[in-house]
Chains A and B, each alone.
Chain A
Amino acid sequence: MSLVEVTGLTKVFRRPVKDPGFRGALRHLVSPRYRDVTAVERVDLRIEPGEAVAYVGPNGAGKSTTVKLLTGIIVPTSGEVRVAGLSPHRDRIANARQVGVLFGQRSQLWWDLPVRESFTLLRDMYGVPDSLYRARMKRFDEVLDLGSILPVVARKLSLGQRMRADLAAALLHGPRIAYLDEPTIGLDIAVRDRVREFLRQLRDEGTTIMLTTHDLGDIEDVCERLVIIDRGRVIYDGSLAAVKDDFARERRIHLQLASPVPLASLSDRLPDAVVVAGDEPGEFTVTVDRFRQTAGAVISAVLPLAEVVELRIDEPAIEDVIRKVYAGELRLA
């Protein structure tokens, strides 16, 4: 049995339709009209214990709604959710014990109190034994440098500090599954790297992770599996490596040659590649299918024409694939 089993999950919201202006507002007061908006449509999803799944999609695709359905915050319109055998919205409290949730854009810290108070409250809420609590806090301090934040009133934290504290707060009770909704939003590079490192450790220790993010670096660092959702439907579900092999095949090789070479003669020598001249004389970008032509083959084809002074290779990134999917240029599966 999978840890998370989602079958035919659908959530329809009713949204008021208001005509523009004062008249529209008045009309809505007298005879309100509504339109149904399907946020999540017949989603099927299985997550095995210990998997790290990236759940991505453009804004408004239904990512957060899915997480809220999986955590029992909102009630599905139809379909079934099972998390370790529990129905999250019916067994909300039992389910809450086994999951940790981070909503990157909201804080669960008590705003008016020092951060430490939030942690002791969470300890009490989840019934974390004292020894375990101390061990975990020590660990959070090592990885997330939490110690310096603890005495600070939550309202005075910087975004990076707040996010680190919130991440620790979501994981204090050692959940089996962590739903992390944009855990690196707004963070500087140093903090982001730290958070990613922490997520990798968590994954290696066997915590199941569902990561919702716009930051594709998070995905490549932490996840092996990719689920893409668009307009409420899952449009891709498979391994990250497979997406790259299937769709991210273009490797770009930037060359700076010692002497100017006509574009045509370079193209003739590289029939399978696309060659584009750069701004400077002798500057070229060669785009090849990395499965059909190696970087070495490109270089040896160029060398008889001129010496290569500089060489830079852009590896295909998952980002390119997802950008194309969002833009509607690429249909997966």
Chain B
Amino acid sequence: MSSYVAYFGLFRTSARTVLAYRMSFWLGVLGGILPMVSLFAIWGALLSGERSLGGLDWAQMRAYLLVTFGTGSLLAAYGDFRMANRILDGRVALDLVKPVDYQRSRFAEALGGVGMELLSVGLVTCGVVIITGPVLVPHGVQALLFLAAMASVIPLKFGIMYLTCTLCFYTQNYVGLFWARETISALLSGALVPIALLPGWLQAVSGVLPFASVVSTPALIYVGAVSGFHAVQLILVQVLWTVALWFAARLAWRFAIRRLTVHGG
């Protein structure tokens, strides 16, 4: 009970921190709408002569791109950079003298940002719909499956980010790790192009890594390209990855923390 209060406190404080920067929130919304509109234009041109690309028609593709934007926005405010910088400059020392689990604390903070991120995704979606017209919306069971997949994205994405931050102990730098992860993830998650459009060997690589569960799974369920039992299967894969990454990160942290060096002060 008392630990619940502690983590809820972190959640609440993190949520307030996000609210502290109004300007950056609105810039984020604006910065979300413009690339979406241009992405629509590019894919619209690609699909102009075709009925479908990678199994998706134009209506599905637009929805796919929007969900991709949504999963990309989740945990963006969490600031893996914040955690990484605290490790690198030694402020992590202050986190380690608190009577809370480090990983759960960071997860609580990550969740604290989700509300605002969802709001931002909603506003961007509205903006895009106003500019380019209505998008496809799933109904009934399909909608529920989508919500389940989207909810799983949060702890899963957190696991990937947290593990990357843990590598900081070894690299002493985060920018390189961040870009490596972003690039690999963009390609293998289906965020850049649907995985069906990738060459076979890259599809195979994507199949054994967790990135597709973050983007492709909720996006394909949303547009109805995957449904029923297959959708449930993909959600189970998400859950398995989430659990595996959570414990892998715990183990990794135990080793990495031994390398912590905090100089001065």
Show the binding face of A for B, using Cβ within 8 Å.
Answer: 13, 64, 68, 71-75, 92-94, 96-97, 99, 101, 103-106, 108, 110, 112-113, 117-118, 120-121, 123-127, 153, 181-182
Contacts and interface: CB of A to CB of B under 8 A. Distances in A.
A96 B97 contact: yes
A155 B8 CA distance: 23
A105 B16 CA distance: 25
Contacts of B94: 101, 103, 106, 108
Nearest to A89: B257
B9 A73 contact: no
Given A75-B258, A93-B101, A96-B99, A64 B265 contact: yes
Interface residues of B, number: 29
Given A93-B101, A105-B264, A110-B13, A124 B96 contact: no
A200 B9 CA distance: 32
Contact of B90 (A101, A106, A127, A181): A106
A93 B99 contact: yes
Given A73-B97, A112-B21, A125-B99, 11 more contacts: A13-B261, A71-B97, A72-B97, A92-B96, A101-B94, A105-B265, A110-B17, A125-B9, A126-B6, A153-B20, A181-B265
Nearest to B261: A13
A123 B6 CA distance: 8
A123 B262 CA distance: 27
Contacts of B21: 112
Contacts of A94: 99
A94 B94 CA distance: 15
A71 B6 CA distance: 20
A229 B28 CA distance: 52
B93 interface: yes
Contacts of B99: 93-94, 96-97, 125-126
Interface string B32-47: 0000000000000000
